[in-house]
Chains A and B, each alone.
Chain A
Amino acid sequence: MQGGACLDFAPMSALQSPARGRAGGFADWIGAAAQRRRAVAEAFVDTFVAWGYDYLATPLVEPLETVAAGVGGGLQTQLFRFMDADGSLLALVGERTVSVARVVATQLQDAPLPLRLCYAGPVLFNRPPLGGRRREAMQAGCELIGHGGLSADAECISVAAAALQRAGIDGVQIDVGHADFVPSLLDSAALDPAARERVAVALRDRDLVAVEEALSGTEAGDAERELLLTFPTLRGGRDILDTAGARIRAERPRRVLAELAELWELLDHDGISGSVHLDLGAVRDWDYYTGPTFELFSADLGFPLGSGGRYDRLLAAFGAAAPATGFVLHVDRCCDALLRGAGAQPGAGALRLGYPAERAREAAALAARLRLAGIAVALDLEPSAAGGDRPVADGAAHLDGGGALLWRWRGRDGSGIESLLAARNEAAG
């Protein structure tokens, strides 16, 4: 055999140990990947908090009844479900908005509105393994509850964009649509109920061939039908609202267009309209969303980085009717996007500090000082005999017998604490 590396595998008997397996669709996060994932989640939550959203932690487990009150049957079947001691059914959460809504309707029912809340945590999906899809994902998101105006929708879009930017994800495209646009077109397109249902199902399944089939041979021969057929191309800048408006007479879809025009203005004030595409064909869960919706995309990834929208009906399901809007960001997908884009950065490990036995006390004090200055330090657990040699490996430092610090860090080397702190400030600045 030529050319191939030869891996020295352990004997099969050792590999077959059942205690070493990992469930399909789950991942371990190690080293730079783990650090990146934590940094992304922190950047998100830090952004949310900076915009005035209070951090909230909800449980990983909810009664299935609670989950069912909030989301439709579609998501429920994708949850890990199990039985509580009393026989009632529990589920591992597959999203966290329902939990936030439950808290708002109970512990926070007397809190003054609007409420700004944010969260970050794992969610789980009981999908079949081997499909390439994750079964555990980290999600971070915001909910803005108690304000029905477009300024709330615009704020959510701006917060989401700011969070992605803070995490170092560039070139994000924001697709803004409206949950009522397609339904209002369907209602005004003179379709009989059966045909309307067929078109709606086909749109939800993203099957445009079936949309065409369902529309052919119906009464709808007007502009609305043409719009429904050209649905995937109904995307673009502010001008598509005028293009669509010129072709629509019915009042309800026109009201949607007016709302989107106003939302566009607000996003323009926030300085992010340059990243916004209006997507009139956006088809999201109509039973859940009630107003503007949005999705965030990176050119490097086949899935949305995040999504959100107005959901004015959810709180009523918990007996505390209130308008609400919010969004979720998918931390793991954002890490994928960072890895594929130019934003990938190897995580900087800790500085390993060695010392001779007689300098142990001094080394501990030095480590404490460096940590305060923001340098991660791992102190050797045993003193080493190494004398005045300069450290060879990056990220290594030691005190020599005379108490002088020699270091090599992030591709540079030097001696003395002050020069190390200066290098650190340079790296940070």
Chain B
Amino acid sequence: MRLLYFAWVKEKVGRASEEVTIPENVATVAELIAWLKSRGPEFTNAFERQDVIRAAIDQSHVRHDARIGHAHEIAFFPPVTGG
């Protein structure tokens, strides 16, 4: 699965994207965040205020309780500030 990070989430995790194989017991976005935080201090730091972080599955906004299913691409980013 491909993970993408944007804006300050990208800066904190130190990469824009990566391919990962997530454990089978990770079923939701919230569980994915919990797993990411176990991978290292850069993730703990990036997801410290995890309620603020927005997620998208296959380029559609989702809530943290959304199920990952057969997602190809999951993105994490701060609240958007365009316009």
Q: Do A and B come from one complex?
A: no
Please give the residue numbers on chain A whose beta carbons come within 8 Å of chain B beta carbons, in ascending order: none
